[in-house]
Every structure is written in structure tokens, then in C-alpha cells.
């Protein structure tokens, strides 16, 4: 998913000719208290925000107080966009066309959350597992095969630790299966150790994953 997928339909840009008073009034309905500004051809120019309003008391139009702010391309990865929003604490990020620089839309916290939620569809039965493996042994296709061997389907997979060559890799995955123990057994056969299981009706607590691994060790499966 990219920045284009997270655009909010609620954020309309301001034109350079927009009267200052009208622009200030428009900010009152924007959660982030900032709006993108475009020229007559729709090319993104910058942001008009509440902070700038305090320094533009005598302004006539938006053109008098446009603040420079970097926009992201519409193909910008959503994961990187989410990280930049969190680290820079930006409430509104403008999005422009990959080639022309024309304004496409803007992403705010609400539209970002809505986009992220689409990655985690709600199911009646699902299990989240955290697994680890030795350095260099990680394979997304192997994990998918292991999950399928347990008659389950892989819904989400994220590498959360161990991207360096010599570090142990930790992966979180979600499967549409109510019993994580069978998936854990299958993952073990592929060389993955399950360290935590959550969200499964059949597993009362994540600590049981330790007992599963002990059992797998004794059974050598």
C-alpha cells in the first residue's frame, strides 16, 4: 500500500487567491489545523497552518502566508509514511503526483488509521504468533508453506527484529486459525520457534507456547 491509498477525502486544498479570513475559517474544521495550498494549475506549493496565522495578521490572501512543507509522492510506501508521521508528529501530509508534482490529496491521522485497518480484516477465528529463526534462515515463502500445511491461511506477516545478517530474526504473523498450536507445530518442522501465541480461543494464554515448544522438542517433530 502507498500514500495514495491513505488519502483523506475530507481535506480540500486552498488556492493562492483564497481570502485570508476564509482560509482561517476553513482551518477550524481540520483536525490537524493545516491545509495544503495549490496554484491555479493544481501544483502543490506548501501549507497554510494555524502557526502561520499568528504571523500573518495583516495578510490579504493565502498567498501571503504559505509555509514550505515537503510533500510525498503518491507511490511513497505507506509504512514509511506512517513512520514519518509518528516521528515528525505531522498531522497532515500532502501527496503529489509521481511525475508532475500536482496535488493529489492529503493524509491525516484518521485516513491513515482507516488505511492500516484494512490490512487487518476482522475474522471470527484468528491467531497471532511470534516466531524466531536463526540468522539467514528467514523465508517468507517457507512460513507461508508451514501455515498452509496446518490447513490455515497466512493473513499478515511482518519482520520486527533481526534484519541484520548475524542477528536472530523475529517475525509476527496472523493466521485465520483458532488453534495456534497446530500452526506452531508446523512452523517448528520448518525450523521456526514460536515464542508467543495470542488471540486464539483455543489457547488460554501466551505462556502455553513455551509448553508447546517443550513438547515439540521431546517429540522431535
CA 174, CA 163: separation in Å to the nearest integer?
Answer: 20
Q: What is the pLDDT of residues 162-179, one digit of tens each?
A: 767 778 899 999 998 777
b/e map of 114-148 (b: 16 or more CB within 10 Å)?
Answer: ebeeeeeeeeeebbbbbbbbeeeebeeeebeebbe
Question: Which of the two residues, 167 and 122, has the higher pLDDT score?
Answer: 167
Question: 207 pLDDT exceeds 80?
Answer: no
Question: 121 pLDDT exceeds 80?
Answer: no
CA 16, CA 100: separation in Å to the nearest integer?
Answer: 19
Residue-level pLDDT at 211: 55
Residue in 185, 188, 122 with CA at minimum distance from that of residue 150: 185
Q: What is the pLDDT of residues 19-42, one digit of tens each?
A: 888 888 888 777 667 899 999 899
Residue in 99, 104, 115, 86 with CA at minimum distance from that of residue 36: 104
Residue-level pLDDT at 205: 45
Q: What is the pLDDT of residues 144-165, one digit of tens each?
A: 999 999 999 998 898 888 767 7
pTM assigned to the model: 0.61
Confidence of residue 194 (pLDDT cuts 50, 70, 90): very high
Summarize the confidence of residues 213-219 as an average pLDDT: 54
Q: What DSSP state is assigned to residue 135?
A: T
Q: What DSSP state is assigned to residue 58?
A: T
Summarize the confidence of residues 118-125 as an average pLDDT: 68
Homologous superfamily in CATH for domain 3-117:
CBS-domain (3.10.580.10)
Helix (H), strand (E) at residue 195 = strand 193-198
Confidence of residue 89 (pLDDT cuts 50, 70, 90): confident
Q: CATH 3.10.580.10 spans which residues of the chain?
A: 3-117
Q: CATH 3.30.70.260 spans which residues of the chain?
A: 127-219
Residue-level pLDDT at 130: 94
Summarize the confidence of residues 92-118 as an average pLDDT: 89
For 203, list phi and psi in degrees, rounded to 5. -120, 105
Helix (H), strand (E) at residue 148 = helix 140-149
Question: 110 pLDDT exceeds 80?
Answer: yes
Q: Do 13 and 41 meet the contact criterion of CB atoms below 8 Å apart? A: no
The topology (CATH level 3) of 127-219 is Alpha-Beta Plaits (3.30.70)
Residue-level pLDDT at 206: 46
Residue-level pLDDT at 216: 56
Question: Which of the two residues, 135 and 129, has the higher pLDDT score?
Answer: 129
Confidence of residue 200 (pLDDT cuts 50, 70, 90): very low
Residue-level pLDDT at 219: 47
Amino acid at each position: 500500500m502507498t500514500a495514495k491509498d491513505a488519502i483523506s477525502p475530507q481535506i480540500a486544498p486552498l488556492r493562492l487567491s483564497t481570502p485570508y479570513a476564509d482560509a482561517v475559517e476553513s482551518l477550524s474544521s481540520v483536525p490537524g489545523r493545516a491545509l495544503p495550498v495549490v496554484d491555479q494549475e493544481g501544483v502543490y506549493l506548501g501549507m497554510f497552518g494555524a502557526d502561520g496565522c499568528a504571523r500573518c495578521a495583516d495578510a490579504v490572501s493565502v498567498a501571503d502566508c504559505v509555509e514550505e512543507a515537503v510533500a510525498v509522492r503518491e507511490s511513497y510506501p505507506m509504512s514509511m509514511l506512517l513512520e514519518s508521521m509518528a516521528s515528525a508528529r505531522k498531522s497532515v501530509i500532502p501527496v503529489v503526483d509521481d511525475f508532475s508534482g500536482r496535488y493529489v490529496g492529503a493524509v491525516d491521522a484518521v485516513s491513515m488509521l482507516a488505511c492500516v485497518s484494512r490490512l487487518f480484516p476482522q475474522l471470527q477465528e484468528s491467531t497471532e504468533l511470534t516466531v524466531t529463526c536463526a540468522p539467514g534462515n528467514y523465508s517468507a515463502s517457507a512460513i507461508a508453506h508451514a501455515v498452509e500445511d496446518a490447513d490455515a491461511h497466512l493473513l499478515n506477516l511482518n519482520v520486527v527484529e533481526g534484519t541484520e545478517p548475524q542477528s536472530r530474526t523475529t517475525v509476527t504473523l496472523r493466521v485465520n486459525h483458532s488453534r495456534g498450536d497446530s500452526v506452531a507445530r508446523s512452523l517448528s518442522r520448518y525450523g521456526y520457534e514460536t515464542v508467543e501465541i495470542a488471540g486464539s480461543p483455543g489457547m488460554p494464554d501466551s505462556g502455553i507456547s513455551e509448553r508447546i515448544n517443550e513438547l515439540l522438542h521431546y517429540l522431535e517433530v
